[in-house]
Structure 1
Amino acid sequence: MPRIFIDGEAGTTGLDIKARLEAQNIALISIDPAQRKDPKARLEKMISADLVVLCLPDDAAREAADMLAEHPEIRVLDASSAHRVAPDWVYGFPEMSASQARHIAQASRVSNPGCYPTGAIALLRPLVDAGLLPPDIRLPINAVSGYSGGGHRVIEQHARDGGPAFALYALELEHKHVPEIMRHAGLSHRPVFVPSIGHFARGMIVSIPLHLDQFGAATSEDLRQCLRVAYQQSRMIRVVDDSSGRLTADALAGEDILELRVHGNDAHRHAVLTARLDNLGKGASGAALQNIRLMLGMAAA
Structure 2
Amino acid sequence: MSVSVFIDGAVGTTGLEIRERLSGRGDVSLLILDEARRKDEFARRDALNDADIVILCLPDDAAKEAVAMIDNATTRVIDASTAHRIAHGWTYGFAELERDQAKRIAGARFVANPGCYPTGFLALVRPLVRDGLLPADALVTVNATSGYSGGGKSMIAEFESGAAATAFRPYALSLGHKHVPEMTRHAGLSHGPVFQPAVANTYRGMVVEVPLHLTQLAAGADRRLVLDAFEATYEGCGLVRVSDDTPATIAIEDDAGTDRMTLHVFAHHDLRQLRLVATLDNLGKGAAGAAVQNLNLMAGLDPLAGLAR
Flag whether TM exceeds 0.5 (same fold).
yes
Which shows bigger deviation, 236-245 or 144-153? 236-245
Whichever residue aligns with residue 166 of structure 2, its letter is P
**Structure 1 residue 88, shift from structure 2 partner:** 0.6
Q: Which runs of 4+ in 1 moved over 3 A?
A: none
> Is structure 2 residue 137 aligned with structure 1 residue 142?
no
* Aligned counterpart, 2:80: 79
Q: Is the 1:220–1:265 Cα contact (8 Å) retained in structure 2? A: no
The gaps in structure 1 that reach 5 residues or longer are none
Q: d(CA) in 1 for partners of 2:221 and 2:55?
A: 42
Q: d(CA) in 2 for partners of 1:45 and 1:140?
A: 42
Whichever residue aligns with residue 146 of structure 2, its letter is S
From 22, 30, 33, the counterpart of 1:31: 33
Q: d(CA) in 2 for partners of 1:92 and 1:11?
A: 20
Q: Secondary structure at the match of 2:96?
A: helix
* Aligned counterpart, 2:292: 289
* Aligned counterpart, 1:56: 58
Q: Secondary structure at the match of 2:257?
A: coil
Q: d(CA) in 2 for partners of 1:28 and 1:15?
A: 12
The gaps in structure 2 that reach 5 residues or longer are 305-309
Which shows bigger deviation, 136-145 or 238-247? 238-247
Q: Is the 2:115–2:179 Cα contact (8 Å) retained in structure 1? A: yes
Q: Secondary structure at the match of 2:211?
A: strand
Q: d(CA) in 2 for partners of 1:91 and 1:214?
A: 27
Tell me how large the CA RMSD over aligned residues is.
Answer: 1.1
Q: Is the 2:246–2:265 Cα contact (8 Å) retained in structure 1? A: no
Whichever residue aligns with residue 153 of structure 1, its letter is S
Q: Secondary structure at the match of 1:117?
A: helix
From 205, 217, 229, the counterpart of 2:232: 229
Which digits, 9 at most, give the CA deviation of each residue in 1:256-281, with x for residues without a partner? 11000110112211001000001011
**Structure 1 residue 23, shift from structure 2 partner:** 2.9
Whichever residue aligns with residue 7 of structure 1, its letter is D
* Aligned counterpart, 2:186: 184
* Aligned counterpart, 1:88: 89
Which digits, 9 at most, give the CA deviation of each residue in 1:109-159, with x for residues without a partner? 001111000000011111100000001100111000000111222111211
Q: Is the 1:157–1:164 Cα contact (8 Å) retained in structure 2? A: no
Q: Is the 2:205–2:279 Cα contact (8 Å) retained in structure 1? A: yes
Whichever residue aligns with residue 63 of structure 1, its letter is E
Q: d(CA) in 1 for partners of 2:73 and 2:119?
A: 27
Which shows bigger deviation, 20-29 or 279-288? 20-29
From 156, 172, 175, the counterpart of 1:173: 175
Q: d(CA) in 2 for partners of 1:126 and 1:87?
A: 23
Q: Secondary structure at the match of 1:102?
A: helix
- Identity over aligned residues, as a percent? 48
Q: Is the 1:202–1:280 Cα contact (8 Å) retained in structure 2? A: yes
**Structure 1 residue 300, shift from structure 2 partner:** 2.3
Q: Aligned ranges for residues 146-165 of structure 1 at < 5 Å? A: 146-161=147-162, 163-165=165-167
Q: Is the 1:148–1:202 Cα contact (8 Å) retained in structure 2? A: yes
Q: d(CA) in 1 for partners of 2:246 and 2:54?
A: 44
* Aligned counterpart, 2:307: none
Q: Aligned ranges for residues 196-235 of structure 1 at < 5 Å? A: 196-215=198-217, 216-235=219-238
Which digits, 9 at most, give the CA deviation of each residue in 1:192-223, with x for residues without a partner? 00000001011000001101113332111111
* Aligned counterpart, 2:263: 260
**Structure 1 residue 297, shift from structure 2 partner:** 0.7
Whichever residue aligns with residue 223 of structure 1, its letter is V
* Aligned counterpart, 2:241: 238
* Aligned counterpart, 1:193: 195
Whichever residue aligns with residue 208 of structure 1, its letter is V
Q: Secondary structure at the match of 1:77?
A: strand
**Structure 1 residue 87, shift from structure 2 partner:** 1.5
Q: Is the 1:72–1:108 Cα contact (8 Å) retained in structure 2? A: no
Which shows bigger deviation, 156-165 or 287-296? 156-165
Q: d(CA) in 2 for partners of 1:73 and 1:145?
A: 36
Q: Secondary structure at the match of 2:134?
A: coil
**Structure 1 residue 242, shift from structure 2 partner:** 2.4
Q: d(CA) in 1 for partners of 2:231 and 2:172?
A: 32
Q: Is the 1:126–1:230 Cα contact (8 Å) retained in structure 2? A: yes
> Is structure 2 residue 251 aligned with structure 1 residue 248?
yes
**Structure 1 residue 46, shift from structure 2 partner:** 1.2
Whichever residue aligns with residue 173 of structure 1, its letter is L
